[in-house]
Amino acid sequence: MCVIKQDPPPVADHRSDELFLMSSIWSPVAVIGLYLYFVKCVGPRHMKNRPAYELNGVMKAYNLTQILCSVYMLLYSLKAGWAFKYKWLCEPVDYSFTASSIDVVRCVWTYMMIKLLDLVDTVFFVLRKKAAHTSFLHVYHHAIVFFGAWCCTKYVPGGHGTFIGPVNAFVHIVMYTYYFVTATWPEYRKSLWWKKYITQLQLAQFLIVTLHSSTVLFMDDSCKYPKPLAAFLAVQNGFMFILFAEFYVKSYRRKIK
């Protein structure tokens, strides 16, 4: 039987205080507030009587930037821990001031900054008048992932939960490569057979992270990674798996019929 024991309330990790956006909880709250205000109010109102912006050149530059950031994140997270140092079943957070632990803090912060960049996705959807893409799934996913990444950087920068870093980076390399190709050569959009497999890859990501986070819950007290946080990561990624699975069924099964 799995019993989740309550650990002491998390204490802010001051090693990240000097990093951008990390000095106060109000920083991510303000970012998310402005994001939601633009996506749901200012943006749609601004675009109501205007034609959609093309943004083709901007989109290509953005997609290429995302590819480069994701490659960097994948290599950084592997070097910082997951390639050689971290244990797969349970890895505690190292709160020391060694060079390697500080490197992990910066790696987690880098992941958060990439999630901040991800918010621009929605801004482009609004400016291109693609309202169908600004769904609850899309907006919730972007907002909660950014806020969760900020909390991890502030309180638990390292350890078991950082497994999502290399997994997500790999998925984003594939996803933004597809976006870059279709933006650069739109004539090949219909011939790219692997579009639906991107959603399948995202589903695999959520399932893998859910299972990986859950391993902590079945470990004894020798596992020092916070079990409540592991439970949250498992539940959150499980919830995202359900939402993306529903989207996948609606999008692709309907086309088959």
Distance CA 201, CA 20 (A): 31
Is 141 catalytic? The answer is: yes
| Sign of the alpha-carbon dihedral angle for 88, 237, 193, 166 | negative
All residues at 6 or more sequence positions from 59 whose CB lies less than 8 Å from its CB, including other chains: 124, 179, 183
Residue 215: how many other CB atoms lie within 10 Å: 16
Residues in Cβ contact with 156 at an 8 Å cutoff, skipping those fewer than 6 apart: 10, 13, 93, 226, 229
Pick the catalytic residue: 14, 46, 138, 141? 141
- How far is it, in rounded angstroms, from Cα 60 to Cα 2? 48
Q: Do residues 169 and 71 touch, judged by C-beta distance below 8 A?
A: yes
Distances (CA, A) of 54 to 8, 143, 235: 51, 25, 38
Catalytic residue annotation = 141
